[in-house]
């Protein structure tokens, strides 16, 4: 009987060894979805400040060898309401190891925003509750993403820059997550830190770590903000994401090379017809000067036209349009018009890539559709 009683007591001691003191707690960076540690264990006693958003594993140091039960409870998250579907409250596991080793107290925690996370770990209980010696600790997360401007963005370029470098806005991703950018023209910063304005993009629901220049729909004064994001799961195990706060905005000019809309010829039978033009973006062309130089097509040299200059005529853009009075050429034939723009804040000094295609007859001047203009 004494031998049987000794065996029972020994088995109970092996199953649930007593902890002499509160367990020492640790955290390491470890994604909740791939479960691959990306850092060493960090003592929670130092209340470490982290910038990683991929996930966090809580560990504790075994004080005695053998099997023991461990209960992990998430007691605090930045928004006050834990969303940790993999960690029931408390989450209980059994651990078996040598004294002094560090063992995981449960599944990884997922990122729930910047702020403080607090946990409690109880060791030695026999009912998967929180009986036994308990220890508590905390860590904070302060991840951020910031937009960075590369070059001077153009909504339209007549020619690509040498080497075709990236031009636009990028934001480096916080460790373990993604970056997300929002931009707006003539922007207003909203209460949550995002921006809205006359043009706002990209749309909500998509993560955009960069905004190349061709995405900007028009020239003007633009502002962009960025934030970090991390994949997560809801309590119902649906996919979601948590974010860092929006960054401070950066503001910059988006420019464009000049393009005009199709012009109109008034008084085409006059010796001095009037050409009326509208810019692609009339509001940012206002005040800019322009010149139209006419060249008569005098034949071909290989695949290129032989051109004879027939005159240059100048004008200035108003709020909506520009009118230039030209001298109707005396020589009958086809003419090319070169439209040069002086530049404004948002429009670069440039030549319209689409030449004017004209036909001068004995009694009038008229536009010619591209398909009807002769080629070499």
Mean pLDDT within 66-83: 92
pLDDT at position 156 is 97
Model pLDDT for residues 276-335, shown as the tens digit of each residue: 999 999 999 999 999 999 999 999 999 999 999 999 999 999 999 999 999 999 999 999
- Same domain for 230 and 315, yes or no, is no
Same domain, 240 and 295: no
Kindly write down the DSSP assignment for every residue of 304-371, as one continuous string. Answer: EEEEEEEEEEEEE--SS-EEEE-PPPSS-EEEEEEEEE---SSEESEE-SS-EEEEE-SS-EEE--GG
Q: What is the pLDDT of residue 90?
A: 81
Instruction: Verify that 272 and 249 share a domain, yes or no.
Output: no
Same structural domain for residues 235 and 272? Answer: no
Last residue of a domain, one of 79, 107, 141: 141
pTM: 0.85
Q: What is the mean pLDDT of the chain?
A: 91
DSSP per residue over 26-77, as a string? Answer: EEEE--TTT----S--EEGGG--EE---S-EEEEEE-SSSEEEEEEEEEEE-
Q: Indicate the range of 10-14, 91-95, 174-178, 237-241 predicted with least confidence.
A: 10-14
Which DSSP letter does residue 267 get?
A: S
64 and 195, same structural domain? Answer: no
Same domain, 155 and 135: no
pLDDT for 96 equals: 86
Above 60 in pLDDT, residue 6? Answer: no
Contact 231, 131 (CB under 8 A): no
Q: What CATH number corresponds to the domain at position 86?
A: 2.60.40
Q: Which of 16-20, 171-175, 186-190, 246-250 has the lowest mean pLDDT?
A: 16-20
- Give the residue numbers spanning the domain of 81: 2-141
Domain count, the chain: 3
pLDDT of residue 20: 56
**Do residue 45 and residue 60 come from a single domain?**
yes
Contact 53, 243 (CB under 8 A): no
| Structure confidence at residue 316 (pLDDT) | 97
**How far apart (Å, rounded) are the C-alpha atoms in residues 347 and 365?**
30
| pLDDT at residue 5, as a whole number | 39
* Closest C-alpha to 341, from 359, 354, 357: 354
pLDDT of residue 95: 87
Last residue within a domain, chosen from 233, 256, 279: 256
Burial of 229 (0-12, 13-18, 19+ CB in 10 A): buried
**Per-residue model confidence (pLDDT) at position 17:** 45
In the predicted model, is pLDDT for residue 16 greater than 70?
A: no
- What pLDDT score was predicted for residue 206? 73
Q: Which helix (H) or strand (E) holds 137?
A: strand 132-141
Q: In what order do the strands lie in the sheet with 274-277?
A: 264-266, 274-277, 322-325
Q: Are 219 and 271 in a shared domain?
A: no
Q: Which residue has the higher pLDDT, 4 or 231?
A: 231
Res 204: pLDDT: 65
Task: Name the pLDDT band for 12 (thresholds 50, 70, 90).
Answer: very low
pLDDT digits (tens, 9 = 90+) for 191-229: 999 999 988 887 666 789 999 999 999 999 999 999 999
Residue 262 and residue 252 share a domain: no
Find the helix or strand (DSSP H, E) in which 133 lies.
Answer: strand 132-141
Q: What is the pLDDT of residue 19?
A: 45
In the structure, what pLDDT confidence band is assigned to residue 148 with cuts at 50, 70 and 90? very high
End of a domain among 229, 256, 283? 256
């Amino acid at each position: 009987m004494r031998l049987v009683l000794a065996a029972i007591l020994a088995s109970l001691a092996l199953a649930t060894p007593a902890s002499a003191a509160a367990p020492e707690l640790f955290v390491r960076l470890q994604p909740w979805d791939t479960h691959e540690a990306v850092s060493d264990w960090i003592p929670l006693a130092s209340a470490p400040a982290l910038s990683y958003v991929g996930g966090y594993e809580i560990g504790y140091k075994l004080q005695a060898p053998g099997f023991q039960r461990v209960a992990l409870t998430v007691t605090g998250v930045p928004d006050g309401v834990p969303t940790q579907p993999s960690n029931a409250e408390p989450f209980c596991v059994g651990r078996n190891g040598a004294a002094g080793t560090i063992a995981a107290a449960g599944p990884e925690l997922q990122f729930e925003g910047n702020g403080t996370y607090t946990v409690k770990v109880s060791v030695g209980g026999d009912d998967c509750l929180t009986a036994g010696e308990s220890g508590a600790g905390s860590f904070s997360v302060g991840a951020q993403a910031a937009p960075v401007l590369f070059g001077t963005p153009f909504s339209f370029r007549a020619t690509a820059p040498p080497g075709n470098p990236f031009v636009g806005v990028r934001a480096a991703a916080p460790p373990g997550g993604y970056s997300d950018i929002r931009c707006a023209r003539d922007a207003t910063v909203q209460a949550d830190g995002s921006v809205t304005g006359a043009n706002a993009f990209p749309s909500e629901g998509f993560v955009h770590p960069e905004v190349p220049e061709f995405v900007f729909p028009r020239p003007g004064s633009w502002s962009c903000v960025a934030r970090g994001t991390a994949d997560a799961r809801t309590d119902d195990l649906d996919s979601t994401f948590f974010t860092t706060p929006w960054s401070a905005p950066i503001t910059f000019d988006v420019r464009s090379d000049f393009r005009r809309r199709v012009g109109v010829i008034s008084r085409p039978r006059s010796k001095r017809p009037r050409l009326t033009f509208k810019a692609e973006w009339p509001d940012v062309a206002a005040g800019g000067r322009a010149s139209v130089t006419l060249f008569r097509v005098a034949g071909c040299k290989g695949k290129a036209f032989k051109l004879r200059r027939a005159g240059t005529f100048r004008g200035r853009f108003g709020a909506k349009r520009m009118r230039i009075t030209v001298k109707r050429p005396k020589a009958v034939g086809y003419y090319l018009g070169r439209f040069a723009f002086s530049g404004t804040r948002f429009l670069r000094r440039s030549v319209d890539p689409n030449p004017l295609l004209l036909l001068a007859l004995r009694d009038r001047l008229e536009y010619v559709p591209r398909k009807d203009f002769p080629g070499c």
